[in-house]
Structure 1
């Protein structure tokens, strides 16, 4: 590994690699990935595995149905998860640990911190963390939805150096290689913009839930935290040999030169806003940074219900998303102040309370 100097990496393995025939787990492709993990650990590199495939692994245990209900998929995930963990565990002569997450776990700051501490403790004791979304208990409100984005959130939480997304594609092409013979593989992406998203086609796998778009979303989350991200073909043994030789066999997304701080990154890419406050103009135009980022008298309206410490969206009166931030006060109090702006009592309250959002607890949004 002359070219890549990793200390901690996150590997995301897609469902098509776990259960390529949708009839249970198969070692056909996983053995090569497991050997790669063993060789990385032998070189002192810490590894975290985000493994999809519980639904695909458990589907063969249930009667074939044309349309699978949500409840049926949850049952498949519950049964398939144990089979998948058993498969991974057989490959290693070191211990592994199962961590099942929902978006609700990740977007709650206290639980997010607990997850970080657990992962760090496992790595410190030489245990391989194997992470998957908890499909059995998750709901639409709590669902990440795809393990590409989950792997990026995990990589950020774990302060990883690199995120490797293994699937059934070689990397990002300038056009869909299944439709265009002249499609060109892009070896390196320095920045992610709308033109990069425009290159993303539909999912090429009949097993997984994520396509190229979700992989680019994951790369955007990870690179903004300073994490080098790869999209790689996990079906080819050559992929792993080239990585170990220091070559790039797929597409590499270079990280930000100035990565987001951990707390700001969590607020931007992981936490869901519980409500929103509307201000006039932009953050820079409307805020008094000597007293905090946003004052109560700058709020035009309050939408949704949130409490102290919840993540909220700050937007301008023209609809532009300006920032995500931690609320210092509840929506109830702020709504009262905004609705009674001209009253004497409201003016006294505005003078007595501190900033609605403090400068240290805000993440500016570049995109509207």
Structure 2
């Protein structure tokens, strides 16, 4: 039985999407590569409905970050390459990256921003923080970030593997509420529906077990991933507290239903932990320094889940760098620490802006990474009963 014979609207009954305000949408090469002219390239046939979904989400105040494959496919259409291999793929990615961004810009009225990430960007704390700050600012400006792996400089041992795993990493990076993965089939089946007519749809998965991974087929001939890589990505997102929705990006009706928060596909639940893996790490990572805050800042952190602004800082202890873990203490209590978080500025810079308004940061320092000393997305509260 061919894949096109399986109708996701019938195979996967509608179920509600989890509530979300910010989502990462991953679109693979198989949904973008065109064959109408016989020379490959990029085709808008499936991309248009996905773009309409993103525009509809933006219209309701939601934010979407797009992780898009397709650079290699676009580059392959521009030159007579032949063969395969890492170096060739890197060259094709360089050739096709500009075309890929132009392709998405053609489908959106809002600005589209290219962001290329590598393994080191997500492993190094300072580069990780810089990437977070850039993506936050792009979203604040109303732009659509289009993310791809930096294939041109990546090597095998440092590659993120495929854009499914990259999308899971980006979902954690931007503190997304939901990971959406557009596929070329309806969702997860008990077997490959292209080969087994008895393959049963799996609309709801609580855990990604070895048995579930065993249902996945191999990679397709266009992209680098397959259903297994999508399930591995969903497993990583789940550990970060993020649910994943797999759906057929070839079916315009399925994509349109997403706009009404209805999923015809497979939903993989997030893990049961109440904190993301990164915030669990923040709880226990060694602190490089300490900030003491006034009562107003302490109340804002605990009662409202606010960011720590420089105006609330009354003392700085220790020497720390931007991206280091630091503790926050209430000036009214000697112990225990109130919170932990990642410093947006180093110790010397915080000393200079302590007690000042956020609007004064750039005038005082000559630059500005953001309005907060610790952004709420990079902060975990330690006081029992405090607001998350």
- What's the TM-score, normalizing by structure 2? 0.65
Deviation for aligned residue 1:63 = 1.3
Q: 8 Å contact 1:224–1:259 — kept in the other structure?
A: no
- 1:351 aligns with none
Out of 249, 254, 258, which is 1:243 matched to?
258
In structure 2, which of residues 119, 123, 127 is the aligned counterpart of residue 103 of structure 1?
Answer: 119
Q: Deviation string for 1:197-253 (max 9, x for gaps)?
A: 1111112x3211001111011001111111110111111101112212232211000
Rounded Cα–Cα distance in structure 1 between residues aligned with 2:47 and 2:280:
32
Question: Is contact 1:187–1:248 with CA below 8 Å preserved after alignment?
Answer: no
The one of 152, 177, 185 equivalent to 1:169 is 185
Q: Cα distance, 1:50 vs. partner?
A: 0.1
The answer to whether the aligner puts 1:213 opposite 2:223 as a matched pair is no
1:56 to 68, 73, 92: 73
2: distance between equivalents of 1:266 and 1:138?
A: 27
Q: What SS does structure 1 have at the residue aligned with 2:158? A: coil
Alpha-carbon distance in 2 for matches of 1:114, 1:136? 20
Structure with bigger RCO (C-alpha 8 Å, 6+ apart): 2
Q: CA deviation at 1:70?
A: 2.5
Q: Which of 130, 154, 159 is the aligned partner of 1:143?
A: 159
Structure 1 segments unaligned to the other structure (5+ residues): 268-308, 310-359, 361-368
State the 1:82 CA deviation: 0.4
Determine which of 224, 227, 248 is the counterpart of 2:239.
224
Following the alignment from structure 2 to structure 1, what is the Cα–Cα distance between the partners of residues 180 and 280? 19
Task: Tell me what 1:254 maps to.
Answer: 269
> CA–CA distance in 2 between the matches of 1:146 and 1:260?
26
> How many Å apart are 1:2 and its aligned residue?
7.4
Q: CA deviation at 1:264?
A: 5.7
Aligned residue pairs: how many? 267
Alpha-carbon distance change, 265 to 73 in structure 1, aligned in 2, over 3 angstroms: farther
What CA deviation, in whole Å up to 9, does each residue of 1:240-286 have, x standing for no partner?
Answer: 1221223221100011221443536789xxxxxxxxxxxxxxxxxxx
Instruction: Show the 5 A alignment for 1:127-142.
Output: 127-142=143-158
Take 2:202 and 2:16, find their aligned partners in 1: how far apart are those partners? 22
Secondary structure, in 3 states, of the residue corresponding to 1:72?
Answer: helix
Q: Deviations over 1:182-206 (max 9, x none)?
A: 1111100011111111111112x32
Alpha-carbon deviation of 1:154?
A: 0.1
Q: Residue 29 in 1 paired to residue 29 in 2?
A: no
Partner of 2:363: none
- Are 2:32 and 1:6 equivalent residues in the alignment? no
Distance 2:32 2:174 in 1: 24
Q: How far off its partner does 1:60 sit? A: 1.5
Evaluate the alpha carbon distance shift between residue 3 and residue 103 of structure 1 in structure 2; reply closer, same or farther with a 3 A threshold.
closer
Q: Which runs of 5+ in 2 are unaligned?
A: 1-14, 283-323, 325-379, 381-388
The offset of 1:71, in angstroms, is: 2.2
- Taking the aligned partners of 1:129 and 1:63, their CA distance within structure 2 comes to 30
How far has the Cα of 1:69 moved from its partner?
3.6
Query: How large is the RMSD of aligned CA atoms in angstroms?
Result: 2.0
- Partner of residue 85, structure 1: 101
Deviations 1:30-72 (A, max 9, x none): 111111110110011100000001001110222141x224322
Task: For residues 303-360 of structure 1, give each alpha carbon's deviation from its aligned partner in whole angstroms, at most 9, with x where no partner exists.
Answer: xxxxxx9xxxxxxxxxxxxxxxxxxxxxxxxxxxxxxxxxxxxxxxxxxxxxxxxxx9
TM, length-normalised to structure 1 = 0.69
Query: Alpha-carbon deviation of 1:137?
Result: 0.9
Q: Post-superposition, which runs of at least 4 consecutive aligned residues in structure 1 deviate over 3 A?
A: 1-4, 259-262, 264-267
Per the alignment, residue 180 of structure 1 pairs with 196
